[in-house]
Amino acid sequence: MTEEKKEKKPHKRMTATRAAASIGPMVKEFIAGTNRARKEGTHKLAYTFIVCHHEEILRAMDVLPVWTENFAGVCGAKRDAERFLQRAESLGLSRSLCTYALCGIGYDQWREELGETPPDAPWGGQARPDFMIETGQILCDPRSKWYQASQQFMPDIPIYNIDLPYPLFQRDRDHREVLGYYHRYIVKELRGLIAFLEKQTGRKMNYDRLSELVDLSDRIWNLVHETYELRRAKPSPMGTGDAMNTMVPMNFMMATQECYNFFSDLKKELEEKIARGEGEVEEEKYRLMWGGGLPAWYALNDFNYFNGKGASFPVETTYRMVMPLDEMDLPRTNDPVEHLAWRWLGYWTFWYDKARRRPGSEPDVERLINWVEDYDIDGIVVHQAFSCRTWHVGLIWQLNQLAKIYKPIPVLMIGTAGQKEKTNREVPSLILESDIIDITSYSEIDTRNKIDAFIETLESVRANRAA
């Protein structure tokens, strides 16, 4: 059995919440569910990506998403991605490319060559889709190139590419000047998706059902936000380690009642923990923010290592893909597609106004500042995954800029005159480096050394903290 074999398999990770612990079987069930649907022909299957604002449309048309990033992440977490990565390399793809995509393309080519699931594929493998939904976006090139590359081996599978731009932050421009035409374009793209799905499934979209699902996801957005805000408590009841699990329903089950129920339950669990004064860590010494970067999926145990040093993670920017709708000032509309497009734009431009009001700020930096204050953060950790330019380019600059414009910690230093002086310093930060699923890029010894050094920095900053 793949589960039990090598000594390489990591120890089962400790989670702070019961909710997070329930994710494993949930993910296994999606994958098993799509394999069943393929076998029994009960649903159309679509390869697709998370964060495309199209889950409501897919679910309204009973199309089952096959989340290819998720499958690659599972391979990574099970430390069984290497053979698929090597397969992709043997086709001519460079290891420096998004390793999720390499894993997926390697897997697809192998499956097509064999005419069946590759041997011992994690959790039954990734089902062959009926069609593939890519997204141009502005965020990530692999989202436009990945399925196109796989299509070389499955030319009978059509692709619909939804372009989903948002206006980049430009300091001298109010983004509202351009939102109108961005909105019009996104609406057309989403309507195009609906037309594509109608053609592929032979069914018409039920717009009442779509409206219900959009309404449901709106409520889930607000619920998730309220739930995560509970982590402001001291001690914080849930950390980023758990959030890397709870991102599953948020990103893979949006617009479903199960997702709503999951977060309702999680919210209750967190409220109970707070009432009992129970934190992620028994003795919370330091509160850290995961300030950017996808996690190293094969090394989630590192969060437990941090916990062991008294560090909790009340907040993270990664996979926090929802923001409170009532703070977005969205134009009212009865049309669910128009609403989805406004919500998309509202999410991506959420921090623009605030960033413009603070000299030297920028939306990602602004978010860091706001959350340092909201969650009372002592230090920031980011992870540089070498194969992902999307989420990792700019992290060094963000930390630099943050240090430049935001110095919230009063410390006592020995000044030039030899006397103790009070000065303000920036929030300490740590940069970890490896990859999302390529474990050869990771050195546990090296990483843990870095974590140890960081904890010492936090101790020293605290020791020198002025009143």
Q: Which is nearer to other proteins, 8 or 199 (CB)?
A: 8
Smallest gap, in angstroms, from Cβ of residue 16 to other proteins?
30
User: Of 173 and 219, which has the nearer Cβ to other proteins?
Assistant: 173
The residue from 2, 5, 29, 96 that contacts other proteins (CB under 8 A) is 96
Closer CB to other proteins, residue 178 or residue 330?
Answer: 178
Report d(CA 93, CA 312) in Å as an integer: 39
Beta bridge partners of 289: 315, 380
Name which of residues 186 to 245 contact other proteins (CB under 8 A). Answer: 188-189, 192
Which 152-191 positions form the footprint of other proteins (CB under 8 A)?
A: 152, 155-156, 158-159, 161, 163, 165, 167-171, 173, 177-178, 181-182, 184-185, 188-189
Least separation in angstroms between residue 303's CB and other proteins is 22
Closer by beta carbon to other proteins, 163 or else 284: 163
The nearest distance, CB 89 to other proteins, in angstroms, is 5
Q: How many residues in the shown chain lie near other proteins by CB under 8 A? A: 70
**Residue 149 is a binding residue for other proteins (CB under 8 A):** yes
CB of 317 to other proteins, least distance (A): 15
Nearer to other proteins, 90 or 460 (CB): 90
Token digits for 339?
A: 């609403």
Q: Does 384 bind other proteins (CB under 8 A)?
A: yes
Interaction between residue 151 and other proteins (CB under 8 A) = yes
> Residue numbers of the site for other proteins (CB under 8 A)?
8, 86, 89-94, 96-98, 101, 134, 136-138, 140-142, 144-146, 148-149, 151-152, 155-156, 158-159, 161, 163, 165, 167-171, 173, 177-178, 181-182, 184-185, 188-189, 192, 360, 362, 364, 384, 386-390, 392-397, 400-401, 440-441, 443, 445-446
